[in-house]
Amino acid sequence: MPNIGAPELIIVLVIALIIFGPKKLPDLGRSLGSGMREFKNSITGGSKDDDEEDRAEIERDADKPAGERDEPAGEPAQPAGEPAASARRDAK
């Protein structure tokens, strides 16, 4: 298998820049990196540290009152079953 040196790598990056453009290239790199990480984790059996960190974060978030929880972007914190219109009416 031939070694890939710096000149070959630069040529590949320039071609990728021409094809995908400067706006899409960082997203493409992130996607490629996360895909390679997931592949590596699936081959090696995954990382137990990541699972423990996720569980700890969920437990910390569950202990917080409803108004202080880390809500996903774009989803306002509202009590279940209460429509948004009634919340606005009560505020008046």
pLDDT given at position 33? 93
- CA dihedral (68, 69, 73, 79) in degrees, to 10, reads -90
pLDDT of residue 91: 54
What pLDDT, on a 0 to 100 scale, did the predictor assign at position 44? 87
pLDDT at 45: 79
| Domains contained in the chain, CATH given | 1-62 (1.20.5)
Q: What is the mean pLDDT of each run of 10 residues along the chain (92 residues)?
A: 84 92 90 93 74 71 63 54 53 52
